[in-house]
Amino acid sequence: MINICLLSTTTCFDCLPNELILIIWEYLGNIEAIRIFESMECERYTKLLEEYYYKSVSFRQTSLSTFQLYCSHLLNKIRFHVETLKLGHEYVYSQLRLFTQMRPASLSVIKMFPKLRRLVLYNIPEMSSDDLEPYLSTIPFLQHIEVSRCSLTKLSSLICSNLLNHNKSQLQSCIFHGTYSTNGIILYEPIPSSYQVQQSLIDIRINMQDLISLKNLLQFLPKLLKLGKLSILNFE
C-alpha cells in the first residue's frame, strides 16, 4: 500500500504543468529546488532547472548546511550556467568568506562563473580588502554589481580601483550601500593616473562621503544617465 501511495504521489506531481512546478520551486527557493530536483534523472526537470534556476542563484536565505552542500557537490554541475549570483546571508554567517575557502585557488570568480553578468554581495560589514578583492575584480566583466551593508569608507580605495581602473569595462549599473549612515566612499586627490573614463556605466546608486568625492567620481562617468538614490554624508 505504501508503494502504491508513493507511486501515485510521484505520478500526480509529474503530471503538473510546468507553470505549477515553477510556482512550487519558487516557494522552495532556487537553492532548495536545485538540491532536491537536480538528482532526479528527469529530462523535463533538468531543462526547467537549466532555463529558470541554474542561471540565477541566490543564497540570501540559505542555511549553512545547504550552502556547504551546494559548494561541495552542486557547484561544478551548474556553474557554467550561472548569470546572476547573490552571495551573503541576510542575517548570520559569512558566505563570502566560506565560498572563498571552498573555491579552488586556481579559479577566479569569473573563471568559475564564465557567464556571470550580475553579482550581488550582501551583509559583508566585516570583510577585509583581501576578502572582497576576488569578487570586486569581476567588475569589468559584469553588467551589474550591487554591494550592500559594506564598510564603504574602509574599502574606498579597493572599490574605486576596481570600478575605474579599466578602459574596456562592460559594467552598466552599480549599487554601493554602506553599513551605517555615516559610511560612504571617499575619492580624494591625488587621483591615481591609472583611473579611466567609464563609457559603459550609465546607472549608479552610491553612498559618497562628501561632495568632493562625488565630483571626483563623476568626472569618470561621462555617459551617466541615472544617478539614483544618491547619499552625500557630508555637505561641508
pLDDT of residue 1: 43
C-alpha cell at 153: 569608507
DSSP annotation of 140: G
- Asked whether residue 204 carries a pLDDT value surpassing 90, the answer given is yes
- Asked whether residue 152 carries a pLDDT value surpassing 90, the answer given is no
Is 46:19 a contact under the CB 8 Å cutoff?
A: no
Terminal-residue alpha carbon distance, the chain: 77
For residues 158 and 32, give the distance between their C-alpha atoms in angstroms, rounded to a whole number: 34
Cell 544617478, located at residue? 227
C-alpha cell at 128: 577585509
- Backbone phi, psi, residue 217, to 5°: -70, -45
Ordered by where they begin, the domains of the chain are: 1-53 (no CATH), 55-234 (3.80.10)
For residues 35 and 28, give the distance between their C-alpha atoms in angstroms, rounded to a whole number: 10
At 2, which helix (H) or strand (E)? helix 2-14
Is 209:180 a contact under the CB 8 Å cutoff?
A: no
C-alpha cell at 98: 566560506
pLDDT of residue 181: 65
- Backbone phi, psi, residue 147, to 5°: -125, 120
Q: What's this model's pTM, rounded to 2 decimal places?
A: 0.81
pLDDT band (50, 70, 90) for residue 234 = low
Lowest mean pLDDT among 125-134, 180-189, 198-207, 209-218: 125-134
